[in-house]
Amino acid sequence: MQSSEEYHKRIFSALEQADKEVYELITKEYERWQNTLQLIAAENQCSMGVLAALGSVMQNKTAEGYPGARLHGGCEVVDEAEKLAVARAKEAFGAKYVNVQPHAGTTANQIVLTALLQSGDKILSLGLHQGGHFSHGSNVSFAGKYFDVENYYVDRQTFLLDYDVIREQATKFQPKLIICGASAYARTIDFKKFREIADEAGAYLLADISHLSGLVIAGAHPSPVDRAHFTTTSTYKPGGPRGGLIIMGKDYDQRISVGTESMALWQLIEKTTFPGMQGTPYFNNIAAKAVFFKETLCTEYRDRQFKIVENARRLAESLVDLGYDVLTGGTDNYMILVNVANFREGLTGIVAQKCLEDCGIVINMSRLPYDKKGPMVTSGMRLGTPIVTKNGMGSEEMESISTLVDVVLRRVEIIGDTEYRIDESFKDETRGRIKELCSKFPMC
Ligand SMILES: *Cc1c(COP(=O)(O)O)cnc(C)c1O
């Protein structure tokens, strides 16, 4: 009999034999990742253990339902894997209930919304172009189609959430659900205040901590788990496999009436996940989540979350020193939002993204609150430090990164909103410098 180890070692050579094209694309992606600077805040880099679980035989199992209550046979092993993932995630977040089945962060939000709301019910959430996520009720997503959504905004001057204004809005609008959490907001979110506002308005509170969950696990950002009724997150942003989670704290067994039935909130989430919104969970993904949550329980992971924030603060500071307009003046998490239009006249987010990418620095443009430019142009860029920190970079490298970003953004010749020129020799030279910097911090 061949051992599991033998089998899995053959995976990569099997791919090379079966499909040279995809094998080469994977090799190219590895090289792109290794030889350029990864500063996209919405990305992270999982461990080899997580990758191995994703590429394992767990992927083959079909088993709808929950451990001990499946619709298919042969589930004794995947039941153990799911129970392990749940137990570790509960420990990581100090939670009463965790559902590890959602296929993505967006799906986790869809499940909570579908569980709680009837079509036409009211949601109050942060606007998409203010740092919110489209799954929070934007009219480009399913939620905007079925629910009555009103947005709150950040302050025009400070770019901070103003809880008094949100409170007033909630009192007037009387939403059934308030959503907090963001994709582009660099400061601490006060979940306690959000809960007070929700209680006053008679609303449920959903905290989407996709970008904060690693920091929350480590204690580097306050936890919403016992504040919000529901907490959701993607699992790749804190450094695990792709996928989503629904987490519940002290309100997990609060009763809710659904038609003529009464049930606990966690039961409603459970049945809305399956069979409400999904079929078979991805067991390779659930096994990978278990591996990831084991990692999060170690001090190495927890210490790193603080280091990620420290690096982000250093990078923000050094950009400010170079004359950049960093929104809110810095960051409390790993995200740095920069108004590039205020740095050089005519410079847009898309030109910054493209010319930096040409030179080996991978960031993304970001539509800023009250941005005059459209979503495909924008006036902003967003940088994040999880990956460079994972690969061992520290304060000195943050200085080098800001210098490199600055050299490129000063050098680029701006032709229009989306057009620019950058000379080839400068591009090659910068790429070379970045490759050399990255080679000292190999992917781990
Ligand atoms: C990234 C993000 C998501 C989406 O997660 P996916 O797994 O990519 O669907 C949801 N909410 C917020 C706030 C996010 O930043």
Q: Which residue has 């905004």 as its token pair?
A: 153
271 and 351 belong to one structural domain: no
Assigned domain for 40 exists: no
Residue 136 Cβ contacting ligand 1 at under 6 Å:
no
Q: How confident is the model at residue 415 (pLDDT cuts 50, 70, 90)?
A: very high
Residue 233 Cβ contacting ligand 1 at under 6 Å:
no
For position 3, what pLDDT does the model report? 81
240 and 350 belong to one structural domain: no
For position 143, what pLDDT does the model report? 86
122-126 β-sheet, strand order? 97-99, 244-248, 230-234, 204-208, 177-180, 122-126, 148-152
**Do you know the residue count of the chain?**
444
Of 46, 133, 206, which is best to mutate to test ligand 1, by the most ligand atoms within 8 angstroms of its C-beta? 133
Between 145 and 396, the more confident residue is 396
217 and 71 belong to one structural domain: yes
| Domain termination residue (choose one: 296, 323, 350) | 296
For position 115, what pLDDT does the model report? 97
Assigned domain for 1 exists: no
Q: How confident is the model at residue 444 (pLDDT cuts 50, 70, 90)?
A: confident
Of 43, 135, 292, which is best to mutate to test ligand 1, by the most ligand atoms within 8 angstroms of its C-beta? 135
Which residue has the least CA distance to atom 15 on ligand 1?
Answer: 183
Q: What atom of ligand 1 comes closest to residue 104's alpha carbon?
A: 7
121 C-alpha to ligand 1 centroid (Å) = 22
| Average pLDDT for the chain | 96
Q: What atom of ligand 1 comes closest to residue 235's alpha carbon?
A: 7
Q: How confident is the model at residue 259 (pLDDT cuts 50, 70, 90)?
A: confident
Q: Which long-range contacts (CB under 8 A, 24 or more apart) does 141-148 make?
A: 142/110, 143/109, 143/110, 143/113, 146/117, 146/119, 146/120, 147/113, 147/117, 147/119, 147/120, 147/121, 147/122, 147/123, 148/120, 148/121, 148/122, 148/123
Mean pLDDT calculated for residue range 65-77: 96
Amino acid at the residue 175: P
For the chain, how many structural domains are there in total? 2
104 and 251 belong to one structural domain: yes
Q: What is the pLDDT of residues 21-54, one digit of tens each?
A: 999 999 999 999 999 999 999 999 999 999 999 9
179 C-alpha to ligand 1 centroid (Å) = 13
69 and 182 belong to one structural domain: yes
Assigned domain for 433 exists: yes
233 C-alpha to ligand 1 centroid (Å) = 7
For position 388, what pLDDT does the model report? 98
291 and 324 belong to one structural domain: no
The CATH number that applies at residue 354 is: 3.90.1150.10
Task: Name the nearest CA neighbour of 93 among 286, 259, 235.
Answer: 235
Residue 304 Cβ contacting ligand 1 at under 6 Å:
no
Residue 257 has pLDDT above 80, yes or no: yes
Residue 103 Cβ contacting ligand 1 at under 6 Å:
no
Residue 2 has pLDDT above 90, yes or no: no
258 and 379 belong to one structural domain: no
290 C-alpha to ligand 1 centroid (Å) = 20
Mean pLDDT calculated for residue range 343-369: 97
Q: Which residue has 């970001």 as its token pair?
A: 366
Of 44, 106, 242, which is best to mutate to test ligand 1, by the most ligand atoms within 8 angstroms of its C-beta? 106
8 Å CB contact between 184 and 211? no
Residue 308 has pLDDT above 80, yes or no: yes
8 Å CB contact between 226 and 368? no
Task: Name the nearest CA neighbour of 127 among 80, 165, 97.
Answer: 165
299 C-alpha to ligand 1 centroid (Å) = 26
Q: Which two tokens stand for residue 439?
A: 């080679």
Q: Report the DSSP beta bridge partners of residue 151.
A: 125
d(CA 340, CA 360): 18
235 and 336 belong to one structural domain: no
Q: Which two tokens stand for residue 172?
A: 């007037």
The CATH number that applies at residue 183 is: 3.40.640.10
For position 7, what pLDDT does the model report? 75
Of 237, 245, 285, which is best to mutate to test ligand 1, by the most ligand atoms within 8 angstroms of its C-beta? 237
| Domain termination residue (choose one: 296, 317, 340) | 296
Q: What is the pLDDT of residues 182-195, one digit of tens each?
A: 999 999 999 999 99
236 and 320 belong to one structural domain: no
Predicted TM-score (pTM) above 0.75: yes
Residue 110 Cβ contacting ligand 1 at under 6 Å:
no
Which residue has the least CA distance to atom 6 on ligand 1?
Answer: 105
| Domain termination residue (choose one: 272, 296, 320) | 296
Assigned domain for 19 exists: no
Assigned domain for 11 exists: no
Assigned domain for 142 exists: yes
What domain range includes position 385? 306-439
52 three-state secondary structure: helix
106 C-alpha to ligand 1 centroid (Å) = 6
Assigned domain for 12 exists: no
